[in-house]
Amino acid sequence: MIRHLSLPAGFVLALALAAAAPRPVLAWEMPSFALEWGSKGSSPGQFGRARGIACDGAGNVYVSDTNNDRIQKFDGYGSFLLEWGSHGTSPGQFRLPTAIAVGPSGNVYVMDSMNERVQVFDSGGTFLFQWGSPGSGDGQFGTFSDYYWFEMGGLAIDPAGNVYVQDPEHFRVEKFTAAGTFISQLGGQSCDPFCGMSGMACDAAGDLFVGNYLGDHTEIREYDSAGNFIRRWPTHGCIAIRLAVDSANQVYVAGPSPFMVGEVAAVYTVGGIRRGLVAPYGMGPGELDFALAVALNGADDIYVTDGDEVKKYTYATVDVSPILSATFWNFVDPTGQTVQFTTEWTTPTSLSETSPVTATLNAQAFGAFMPDGVELGTVNVPSIPPGGSTVVSLEFPADHLPAAPETILPGGGPGSGAACGSGNWDGSLDVRWPVSAGLDRSETHSAAIPVQAGGTESFIAVASQCGTGAGNAAILSTMSPGFHARLLGEDRLTPAPDPLPANWHGYLALSADAGVADGTQSCAGLWIPCDTTSATISVCATACAWTTAVAPDVSLRRGGLLSASPNPSAGRMQIQFACPQPGPVRLEVFDLAGHRVAVLLDHEMSSGTHELDWSPRSAPSGGLKPGAYFLRLNSAGREDSRMFVSIR
């Protein structure tokens, strides 16, 4: 597959040495390819051209997902943590985010290129402030070109927190405080000294390195923190779109080669002598052909965005641990007494065999970040050959597992023999296994629920036991056509807060349109971040034939309003509710201002499911006027509400 650029290009990653004096030329040892992640797309972990990358002090990786107008955050092993941003001009929105950098405080600075501004966020993606506007004055930026990719602007932050921003249209670099106050600028005249600006980085001493595109090659120009010129050297055919500097003062250059020399990761001395390769050119495992950005963490591990992928390289000895690629479970006997838990493992690279590991499996109650409930045991994962995979399983008694999640179904539930049973234990599986950096962990949360095509919503209780509540902006995926999902509060009516608070409880509501065939299934994915990790909850809805029989007790444990139909209602409506125990029941109607307009029930009732036939026209004072109202049920000390609309 050949990819075309607006520039003649085979993208490269070059490395040049910047030091006060030339160092002895030693034998070059290529870094080891460690792992990669990403593909083309818009789901979490996918990219639409990743044109910026940065690392924070904790080793997390931030990627500018440029064509998707968002920022994605990962841990150092490529596990998705969170995302923020959308297309637009409001604070927190982007029009082609490109260069990205992390300051000493941990704040994330993003070059919002087509909005001609810099936006600043905390590590959880919360918008803090911004600066910049179109123009040539102090603190302003020119229009960035999406055609010349090397003119997409660069960002660099020095150890004092000062921020350098490239303004390619006006041939200058502007320097700001961490708060965005203008300090000074370099350049400002065409080709004096900058012609086509492309990439910047700062070293530990505060020196600034600037890529300067000269038409047929790029040179690297070095300045001290006061803006005094120190030296320059060519990269011999590499356009330096992004730069990074390691602890040994080596300057890494990511960008294309106009001469298509096929060198990806060439290494140079200060005088421009080629020393070796960091990664070969190509499209195979560990190779680079479309390098757009480069960043380093505190251990000098190298992260390169290669088109729609991120690839990691390291100078350390690579202990290749396997990746947990899938987990699933099912009953293995007709009586449903034994559950088999299956884990599928793959290699992070097709170049190396993985190390054998022993993984610990724990069952949890359904929900994100729930405490471990039952220790299932351990599985021994053998060495996996390059590019291979393996499956290991263990079995466990079903009656020892945590309870299934609460579900609330409309009407009477699925009819007898309806093809909508999941056949699976619904719960969560926590897997932990050793890696070179300590311990890796994966939580899988999976459930299934029937839905009535054309009926009201089915509910399943969900929870997030993240204790911080910081940055918990949940992401709910779109279901396939004909299916719908909403994240609601405990009243099953109010949308869940965004971000989620600490220790949140609520419901996932799922439904299917009329006409969806029985047995059709669609799954909703819910991503919930917490600090430096994230959890995924998957709930699969199956359209089923419905019955008017009493709903199963499993859906009545908490009681409440089950349905009110038809809704909207022009005449009589059927209200179905459940009482978890015998006792007084009061059912009322309120308008949106909170005024009670009718009392439908106020007496003792037995436990179980009840149905009331009622017409809004029978309300006092000539019936309800057209509009929205709330049903409110009080039963067994619990209050439940549901909105309905009265029409004429």
pLDDT in tens, 601-610: 998 888 878 8
pLDDT score for 281: 77
pLDDT-based confidence at 263, cuts 50/70/90? Answer: very low
Angle made by CA atoms 304, 307, 311, in degrees to the nearest 5? 30
pLDDT given at position 556: 41
Q: Architecture of 323-544 per CATH?
A: Sandwich (2.60)
Please report, for the chain, the start and end positions of each structural domain, with discontinuous segments joined by +. Answer: 11-20+29-261+274-314, 323-544, 556-646
Which has more confidence, 337 or 115? Answer: 115
- Tell me how far apart the alpha carbons of residues 566 and 573 are, in angstroms, rounded to a whole number: 6
Rounded average pLDDT over 300-323: 84
Q: What is the pLDDT of residue 241?
A: 72
Q: Can you read off the two tokens belonging to residue 290? A: 């479309």
Statement: residue 237 has pLDDT above 50: yes
Q: What pLDDT, on the 0 to 100 scale, is given for residue 312?
A: 92
pLDDT, mean of residues 25-45: 79
pLDDT of residue 64: 96
Q: List, in order, residues 6 or more apart from 27 with CB less than 8 Å away.
A: none
Average pLDDT, the chain: 79
Distance CA 102, CA 298 (A): 12
SS (H, E, C) 379-410: EEECCCCCCCEEEEEEEEEHHHCCCCCCEECC
Q: Averaged over 353-375, what is the pLDDT?
A: 84
Q: Would you say the C-alpha torsion 252, 253, 259, 263 has a positive or negative sign?
A: positive
Q: Which parts of 116-268 fold into alpha helices (H)?
A: none
Band (pLDDT 50/70/90 cuts) for residue 173 is: very high
Which tens digit of pLDDT belongs to each residue from 486-514? 999 888 888 888 888 888 888 999 999 99
Chain segment 85-111, per-residue pLDDT in tens: 999 999 999 999 999 999 999 999 999
The rounded distance, in Å, linking the Cα atoms of 373 and 125 is 32
pLDDT > 90 in the chain, percent: 25
pLDDT at residue 598 is higher than 80: yes
Q: What are the φ/ψ torsions at residue 85 (nearest 5 degrees)?
A: 110, 155
Confidence of residue 83 (pLDDT cuts 50, 70, 90): very high
* Token pair belonging to 12: 């490269």
pLDDT at 564: 77
Dihedral sign from CA coordinates of 512, 528, 54, 175: positive
Q: Tokens 């004092």 map to which residue?
A: 160
Contact between residue 585 and residue 633 where contact means Cβ atoms under 8 Å apart = yes
- Mean pLDDT of all residues in 342-348: 83
| Model pLDDT, residue 416 | 55
pLDDT for 68 equals 95
Burial environment of residue 467 by CB neighbours within 10 A (0 to 12, 13 to 18, 19 or more)? exposed
pLDDT tens digits for range 600-638: 999 888 887 888 888 887 777 667 887 777 788 888 767
What is the predicted pLDDT for the residue at 550?
A: 38
Does residue 16 register a pLDDT over 90?
no
Q: What is the pLDDT of residue 175?
A: 97
Q: What is the average per-residue pLDDT within 305-309?
A: 90
Q: Average pLDDT, stretch 549-553?
A: 39
d(CA 10, CA 257): 6
- At residue 349, the pLDDT reads 62
Give the class (CATH, top level) of 556-646: mainly beta
- Structure token digits, residue 520: 């059709």
User: What pLDDT score does 20 carry?
Assistant: 36
pLDDT confidence tier of residue 194, bands split at 50, 70 and 90: confident
Q: Average the pLDDT over 582-595 and give the result.
A: 81
Contact yes or no for 339/401 (Cβ under 8 A) = yes
Instruction: Using the predicted structure, report yes or no on whether residue 366 has a pLDDT greater than 50.
Output: yes
pLDDT band at 6 (very low <50, low <70, confident <90, very high): very low
Given pLDDT bands bounded at 50, 70 and 90, which one contains residue 592?
Answer: low
Q: Report how far residue 169's alpha carbon sits from residue 269's, in angstroms, rounded to the nearest whole number.
A: 30
pLDDT beyond 50 at 9: no
pLDDT digits (tens, 9 = 90+) for 388-419: 889 998 988 887 888 778 888 877 667 655 55
pLDDT given at position 249: 76
Question: What are the C-alpha distances in Å from 126 to residues 53, 84, 352?
Answer: 18, 8, 39
- Could you tell me the pLDDT band of residue 297, with boundaries at 50, 70 and 90? very high
The larger pLDDT score, comparing residue 184 to residue 337, is at: 184
Res 606: pLDDT: 86
In this prediction, residue 72 carries a pLDDT of 96
Percentages of the chain per state (helix, strand, coil), in multiples of 5:
5, 50, 45
Q: What would the mean pLDDT of 453-466 be, rounded to a whole number? A: 87
What's the pLDDT score for residue 447? 84
Interatomic CA distance for residues 478 and 493, integer angstroms: 20
Least confident of 1-5, 123-127, 539-543: 1-5
11-20+29-261+274-314, what's its fold?
Answer: Neuraminidase (2.120.10)
Cα→Cα distances 4→1, 64, 260, 270, Å: 10, 21, 12, 31
Question: Do the domains at 11-20+29-261+274-314 and 556-646 have one common CATH topology?
Answer: no
pLDDT surpasses 60 at 4: no
User: φ, ψ for residue 67 (rounded to 5)?
Assistant: -75, -15
Beta strand pairing status for 521-530 and 533-544?
A: antiparallel
Instruction: Please list, in sequence order, all residues whose beta carbon lies within 8 angstroms of the beta carbon of residue 90, skipping any fewer than 6 positions away.
Output: none
Percent of the chain with pLDDT over 70: 79
**Biggest alpha carbon distance in the chain?**
96
